[in-house]
Amino acid sequence: MRSTVRAFVLAGLMAASAVVAAAGPAQADTTICEQYGSTTIQGRYVVQNNRWGTSATQCINVTSTGFRITQQQGSAPTNGAPLSYPSVFLGCHYSNCSPGSNLPMQVSRIRSASSSINYSYVGGTYNASYDIWLDPTPKTNGVNQMEIMIWFNRQGSIQPIGSAVGNATVGGRTWQVWRGSNGANNVISYVAPSPITSWSFNVLDFVNDVRNRGAITTSWYLTSIQAGFEPWNGGTGLAVNSFSASVSG
């Protein structure tokens, strides 16, 4: 998410927080068109439509392992905010917590944090965004103070928040690293040089890299792990085919 953009993102998400809790849950293997509609899959993850940035129609079809965008009628300038963040997550997002989640968990207590993702891409202007959220407190509502973004794919003239600060090897892959703040939280983004469709990795590799940069300490809490898309234009057909995440302490 972008420097001038992300302030709008947070405003939209903060406004969304009250609605998420009120929106009626959908059922798995069905279509969600409600602005902040959500449902659970596999008894452990939440899938959310999260159409916070537009009044245009967006619908997702939720499967037993992920979701697909089936309608996306909005359009936004690339120097502004994206339309939405349809995603699947483990943990807590604006008081919407996945069933049985052990998050938030203090980083010092985490023994392992593994995840896997499989994406399908189409044309349009969007990023495939994998978010890791952390906060100094075990916060389950509102915005956290630290966001790690992993850009698995970037299409169109969009860029992460802040500015590029160099390259890094994390999880055995090379990334362009961006760092900035939107005024509400800090963001460190890892941008893949070419699209990644499928990957299984250690979430702690990114958490530790951010810690080594002095952005967090081990006393902070991991609050959620999320994967989805931020579309600006197009995006019908984008899919998270499968997602898994597990944190043990």
Which residue reads 């809790």 in tokens?
A: 21
For the chain, give the longest Cα–Cα distance. Answer: 44
The one-letter code for the residue type at 124 is G
Q: Could you list the active site residues?
A: 147, 230
How many Å apart are CA 182 and CA 5, to the nearest integer? 8
- As a whole number of Å, the CA-based R_g of the chain is 16
What are the backbone dihedrals phi and psi of residue 191, each rounded to the nearest 5 degrees, phi first? -105, 120
Tally the residues of the chain: 249
Could you tell me the two tokens for 197? 């469709």
CA-to-CA dists, residue 73 to 52, 68, 84, 164, 200, angstroms: 14, 15, 12, 32, 32
Residues 6+ apart with CB under 8 A from 94: 13, 16, 17, 20, 21, 141, 142
How many Å apart are CA 119 and CA 154, to the nearest integer? 13
